[in-house]
Amino acid sequence: MSIFTGAGVALITPMYEDGSVNYGEMERIIDDQIAQGTDAIIVCGTTGEASTLSYDEHLETVRMCVSMVGKRVPVIAGTGSNCTKAAVRLSKEAQSVGADALLVVSPYYNKATQQGLKQHFTQVAEAVDLPVILYNIQGRTGVNIAPQTIADLVKDVDQIVAVKEASGNISQVAEMLQRTQGEVDIYSGNDDQIVPIVALGGKGVISVLSHVAPRDTHDMVMKMIQGDVEGSRRLQLKYIPLIQALFCEVNPIPVKAAMNMMGYQAGTLRMPLTELEDAHKELLRKAMIDLGVI
């Protein structure tokens, strides 16, 4: 059984001006997301600025998210690290505070071999009793998880059940599904590739776009799954300008600006991320106005 089908939001971590986590606003965002059709909450991932959270903040943010969601939808906790021992520890702790599944990015900076990736993911997954989503994003980690590596892991490790695929390589997604004989769930990690990945058999998206268009992001997935290809395609193309604006600078800089424009208290970013540049802010604002988001 899939962890979720549809659109999961890669949740921002709202912050006060002093950089501390704004849990009150996080609850407001979670409630609004669920009310508008979001199918899962992914906490402490890339969009949640997990790389700048302390260990205690990271775990507390997962714990608070689990409490706020209250079993309405699955909570998927980002627990990856470039240190295998650290990823194991955080994964165990996330399970202990009630996460429903884990999102584990490939080790960044180290540039492990494919054999090293296999051993890393196996140790992390076998340390818990939760389903694990592998996160493949070579642009941030420096290493691609090869389709055969994923096929081997899915075959050998029961806990590994899905992949968040953000390589941008549709051919790789097709090869992955062929090599696994459909025995792995694929979630698009790129909002501009939801339709092609679901068309190949993917289960949905782990989305940044969902912050500003949760209902339509959900519908984009479900229309395709239910056979309304034209309806899904129209939504995908409709949102391309906004998706491009949401990635005009590195994520999550633009989406935090977008949430602030919508009246949420997304707050500031932690260094080394900086505020959205003025020209990009106007580009984002225009895209949101054109679509009636603000």
Q: Catalytic residues, which ones?
A: 135, 164
Distance CA 144, CA 97 (A): 31
CB 65 within 8 A of CB 30: yes
Residue 39 vs residues 21, 69, 117, 201: alpha-carbon distances, Å: 24, 11, 29, 18
Quick check: 99 and 72 in contact, CB under 8 A? no
How many Cα atoms sit within 13 Å of 62 on the Cβ side?
28
3-state secondary structure of 268: coil
Distance CA 282, CA 245 (A): 10
